[in-house]
C-alpha cells in the first residue's frame, strides 16, 4: 500500500522515496545533499547568498557527482538571487526551488524554458492558483510549525485551504513532520510527499556543530518559537528557532532599526537587509562555531519529537517502516466498519 501511495511523488521527483530534505542555509551542503540522494530521498542544496563563483563551483560538483535528481533552492530576497538564477539557467540542474518569497512569473517561465522543473511555496489558495496558472510544476505547503523563515499559517489549515482544493497536482507538505506515521496520513490526504528540515539537520552527515545538535536533542517543542514583528513599518518574515540570547538580541535589533526609521537615518530596504544579515550571521555562528547561546538555533517544533542523531539512511528507512506499519493498522481499523 505504501508503494502505491509513494507512486505519484516518486514518479514526479524521480527518486525512491518522496521525502524532500529542505534547503537549509549553512547545513544543506554537498555532503548532506549526497547522503540524502544516496539514501533514495530527494535533496535540496541551499544556495543562501553564496558568492556567485562559489555557487557555480558547488552546482557543478552536484551535477557531476549526483546520479539521481536533486534540487537547488534560489532565495528570491537574497542580494545574489539574480546571479544565482543566471548561473542555474546554464546548468544541468533538474529542479529549482524558489524560496524566501514567491517567484515572479517571468522567472518561473525562464526556468521551465531551460528544461527545469520548478517548485515554490504557497500560503493561500489564491497564491497557489496564481502560481499553477503560471505553470509552476509543484508546490510546497510549509506550515508555521517549520523552522527557519516561516509563514503565518499552520499546516493543518494549509491542508484544508490548499491541498484539498487542488487534486492531482504535485503538492508536498512540510512543517512539524518527524515520524513515518504522520507521513502515512499526509499521503492518504493526497500529498505527493513530505519535506523535512530539522530531522536532517540532526543527522550524522549534517555539518552542524556537535553543540548545535545537542541543543536540538535537549529542546522541547514549545521552545522553538517564532519571532514577532513589532511594527508594520518594518516588515519582518517570522523566523522559528529555539529561544536563546540570540533571539532576545533580535528583538533589540528591531527596536533599534525602528528608531532609525523614525528618525530617517535608514531606509526600509536597508533595515530589512540588516535583519536578514543578522539571521545569516547568527545561523552561521551556531551551525559552524557551536555558539548555541548567541547564534541562531533555527528549528521546527518537530525538534521536540527528535531525541537522537542518526545516519540519514536509517532515518529514511525508519520513516518508510513506520509509514507501512501505520497503514497496516489503519487497514485493520477500517475493516471493522464492514
Query: What is the rounded CA–CA span in Å between residue 226 and residue 184?
Result: 27
What's the pLDDT band for 338 if we cut at 50, 70, 90? Answer: low
Of 36, 33, 42, 325, which Cα lies nearest the Cα of 182? 325
Of 161, 85, 179, which Cα lies nearest the Cα of 122? 161
State which residues form the domain around 276. Answer: 220-289
Q: Could you report how far apart the first and last alpha carbons of the chain are, in Å?
A: 19
CA–CA distance from 70 to each of 40, 227, 284 (Å)?
11, 31, 24
Task: Classify residue 179: in a domain, yes or no.
Answer: yes
Task: Classify residue 26: in a domain, yes or no.
Answer: yes
Whether residues 188 and 224 share a domain: the answer is no
**Cell of residue 202, nine digits:** 540532526
Backbone torsion region of residue 175, taken as left when φ is above 0, otherwise alpha when ψ lies between -120 and 50, otherwise beta: left
Whether residues 195 and 62 share a domain: the answer is yes
Length of the chain: 338
What would the pLDDT profile of 46-98 be if each residue is shown by its tens digit?
998 899 999 999 999 999 999 999 999 999 988 899 999 999 999 999 999 99
Given this model, what pLDDT does residue 86 score?
Answer: 97
Whether residues 86 and 156 share a domain: the answer is yes
Decide if 7 contacts 36 (C-beta within 8 A). Answer: no
**Cell of residue 334, nine digits:** 477500517
Query: What is the rounded CA–CA span in Å between residue 202 and residue 148?
Result: 15
Task: Classify residue 294: in a domain, yes or no.
Answer: no
Whether residues 308 and 282 share a domain: the answer is no
Q: With the C-alpha atoms ordered 303, 197, 130, 81, is the resulting torsion angle positive or negative?
A: positive
Indicate the helix (H) or strand (E) that contains 98. strand 95-99
Interior angle at CA 41, CA 35 and CA 46, nearest 5: 65
Find the mean pLDDT for residues 112-116.
Answer: 97
Given this model, what pLDDT does residue 100 score?
Answer: 83
What would the pLDDT profile of 264-293 be if each residue is shown by its tens digit?
999 988 998 898 889 889 999 999 999 999
Task: Classify residue 296: in a domain, yes or no.
Answer: no
Given this model, what pLDDT does residue 277 score?
Answer: 86
Given this model, what pLDDT does residue 335 score?
Answer: 85
Phi, psi of 82 (to 5 degrees): -65, -40
Whether residues 39 and 14 share a domain: the answer is yes
Whether residues 241 and 317 share a domain: the answer is no
pTM of the model: 0.94
Amino acid at each position: 500500500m505504501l508503494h502505491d501511495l509513494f507512486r505519484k511523488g516518486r514518479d514526479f521527483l524521480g527518486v525512491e522515496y518522496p521525502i524532500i530534505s529542505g534547503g537549509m542555509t549553512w547545513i544543506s551542503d554537498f555532503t548532506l545533499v549526497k547522503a540524502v540522494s544516496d539514501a533514495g530521498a530527494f535533496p535540496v542544496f541551499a544556495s543562501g547568498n553564496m558568492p556567485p563563483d562559489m555557487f557555480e563551483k558547488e552546482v557543478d560538483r552536484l551535477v557531476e557527482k549526483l546520479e539521481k535528481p536533486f534540487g537547488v533552492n534560489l532565495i528570491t530576497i537574497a542580494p545574489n538571487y539574480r546571479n544565482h538564477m543566471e548561473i542555474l539557467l546554464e546548468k544541468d540542474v533538474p529542479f529549482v526551488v524558489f524560496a524566501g518569497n514567491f517567484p515572479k512569473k517571468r522567472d518561473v517561465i525562464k526556468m521551465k524554458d531551460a528544461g527545469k522543473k520548478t517548485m515554490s511555496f504557497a500560503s493561500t489558495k489564491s497564491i497557489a492558483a496564481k502560481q499553477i496558472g503560471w505553470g509552476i510544476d509543484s508546490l510546497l505547503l510549509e506550515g508555521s510549525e517549520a523552522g527557519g523563515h516561516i509563514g503565518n499559517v499552520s499546516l493543518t489549515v494549509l491542508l484544508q485551504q490548499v491541498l484539498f482544493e487542488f487534486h492531482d497536482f504535485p503538492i508536498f507538505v512540510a512543517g512539524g513532520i518527524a515520524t513515518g506515521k504522520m507521513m502515512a496520513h499526509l499521503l492518504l490526504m493526497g500529498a505527493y510527499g513530505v519535506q523535512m528540515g530539522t530531522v536532517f539537520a540532526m543527522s550524522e552527515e549534517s555539518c552542524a556543530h556537535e553543540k548545535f545538535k545537542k541543543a536540538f536533542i535537549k529542546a522541547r517543542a514549545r521552545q522553538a518559537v517564532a519571532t514577532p514583528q513589532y511594527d508594520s513599518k518594518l516588515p519582518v518574515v517570522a523566523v522559528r528557532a529555539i529561544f536563546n540570547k540570540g533571539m532576545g538580541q533580535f528583538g533589540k535589533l528591531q527596536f533599534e532599526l525602528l528608531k532609525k526609521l523614525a528618525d530617517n537615518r535608514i531606509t526600509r530596504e536597508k533595515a530589512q537587509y540588516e535583519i536578514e544579515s543578522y539571521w545569516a550571521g547568527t545561523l552561521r555562528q551556531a551551525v559552524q562555531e557551536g555558539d548555541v547561546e548567541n547564534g541562531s538555533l533555527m528549528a521546527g517544533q518537530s525538534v521536540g519529537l527528535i531525541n537522537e542523531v542518526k545516519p540519514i539512511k536509517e532515518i529514511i528507512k525508519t520513516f518508510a517502516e513506520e509509514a507501512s506499519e501505520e497503514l497496516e493498522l489503519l487497514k485493520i481499523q477500517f475493516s471493522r466498519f464492514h
